[in-house]
Amino acid sequence: MTAPSTDPVLVRRARISKAVSIGQRLGYALFAIATVVFFYGLATEYTPALVRIIVGGLLARSAVLAPAIVFGYAVKAAEREEQGLPSGH
């Protein structure tokens, strides 16, 4: 049996898990920025620049966060399957 640290499947899964963590942090940070800018514009005045920041932040968040969530579930499912735990269905 291959040691866990040299098993290519586990190494790849760890790499994907790290990318998922970074993607989730970035996605939620983009959402927070868009939310803060939205309420700033609500309290003051919506300028074209503020609208671009809000829309751009939400679009970027969707592009980053959606795949990160899906891959995060995939990594967790693979870990559960490897441990022999039920899949949650």
Q: What is the predicted pLDDT for the residue at 85?
A: 72
Q: What is the pTM of this model?
A: 0.79
CA distance 30 to 35: 9
Q: What is d(CA 21, CA 23) in angstroms, rounded to the nearest whole number?
A: 5
Neighbour tally for 31: CB within 10 Å: 17
Distance CA 39, CA 51 (A): 11
> What are the tens digits of pLDDT across the range 23-82?
999 999 999 999 999 999 999 999 999 999 999 999 999 999 999 999 999 999 988 888
